[in-house]
Structure 1
Amino acid sequence: MAEEEKISVEDDVSQEESKGSSKKMIIIIVVALLLLGGGGFAGWKFFLAEKPSGDSGESVEEAQESEEKAPLVRIMCEMKPFIVNLLGNQGKRYLKAKIDIEVDDEAIKKELGKRNSELRDAILFLLAGKSFDDISRPGGKIELRTQLVERINGILDQGGIRTLYFTEFVVQ
């Protein structure tokens, strides 16, 4: 009987020790998670968070100069789609392009509207003079954009366009 009491007392002691060690383990895990979470938040705040516009380090004069240089409003002029047969291939390939033109001034936008027929004619002839190889090669669309901007600026009297965007460009 004395042995049974010894065994039961030893079991109680080992259970108390295991309860204490599991509490310690839980505390260690919670502290580790808090440290990881805090470190992650600090890293995000320091490296990835956007800086407030007032704390960018720019002086007031530099901020005003950059605002004066940047245009306040982008004025877009949308043109109807162009569909042309490409040069060569006996008319089997065609190009469908939709172009939006960006200008700096409302006066230029009005001039684009007044000269719409002249602009469309110039753009159609330029597009129809292109072959599939001209358009599909690397840099072909960029070169075409540059040529179109030069052609349109040559037609306009009151200045020029800033750039143009191909909002649709399909070759079949």
Structure 2
Amino acid sequence: MAEQKQNQTEEAKGKKKWLKWVLILTIPLIIISGAVGFYFSTMMNGADDGTIPMKNVQTLTIQSFTINLADAGHRRYLRTQITLEYADRKLLNELELKDHRLKDTVINILRSKRVADLDSNEKTEALRQELIGAINELLNDGEIIGLYFEEFIIQ
């Protein structure tokens, strides 16, 4: 009888050890899978960190510009086509109403540049940010969240 009781106690201890190891391995896996699921769900739907889901982004392409660059003693030209991204659908009306101001602002900024101001990715990114800032200063009903060069040719 004592031997049978001892066997049952050893079996219970063995089951407890097995259960302990299952819990030790399972709980971290549950936590990790939850974190991975949360990460991917926020990436697909737009996180609450200020990013806007792609399904809400609107675009407006501005006609192609050909602009004289500011290189002294050289006849250098820039041809570019720009697409703007914005999130608020109401902004389209304001962009269309202020189309002439928007184009004038872009032309004035681009005409002040030399080839040396546009000859690297870093400088082009700085130009992009300058254009976004200048365009956003013109707007009252929203803001531009992205600006993309669809054409960028220097001759």
Tell me which interval the TM-score lies in, with the shorter structure as reference length.
0.5 to 0.7
- Does structure 1 residue 110 correspond to structure 2 residue 93? yes
For structure 1, the residue ranges without an aligned partner over 5 or more in a row are: 1-54
How far is the alpha carbon of 1:57 from its aligned partner?
A: 5.1
> Percent of aligned pairs with the same residue?
27
Deviates more, 1:81-90 or 1:95-104: 81-90
- Does structure 1 residue 58 correspond to structure 2 residue 37? yes
Question: Which amino acid counterpart does residue 45 of structure 2 have in structure 1?
Answer: E
Q: Name the CA distance, whole Å, in 2 between partners of 1:165 and 1:66.
A: 22
Question: Which amino acid counterpart does residue 147 of structure 1 have in structure 2?
Answer: E
For structure 2, the residue ranges without an aligned partner over 5 or more in a row are: 1-33
How far is the alpha carbon of 1:138 from its aligned partner?
A: 4.7
How far is the alpha carbon of 1:67 from its aligned partner?
A: 2.7
Q: 1:134 aligns with which of 109, 117, 134?
A: 117
The match for 2:104 is: 121
Runs of 4+ in 1 over 4 A off after TM superposition: none
How far is the alpha carbon of 1:98 from its aligned partner?
A: 0.3
| TM norm structure 1 | 0.60
Instruction: Identify the structure with the greater helix proportion.
Output: 1
The match for 1:169 is: 152
Root-mean-square deviation (CA, aligned residues, Å) is 2.6
Inter-CA distance 84–91: structure 2 relative to 1 (3 Å threshold): farther
Deviation string for 1:106-149 (max 9, x for gaps)?
11122111100000001000000000100114511111001000
Inter-CA distance 134–68: structure 2 relative to 1 (3 Å threshold): closer
How far is the alpha carbon of 1:88 from its aligned partner?
A: 2.0
8 Å contact kept, 2:88–2:142: no
Instruction: Identify the structure with the greater strand proportion.
Output: 2
| TM norm structure 2 | 0.67
8 Å contact kept, 1:85–1:91: no
Q: 1:85 aligns with which of 61, 65, 68?
A: 68
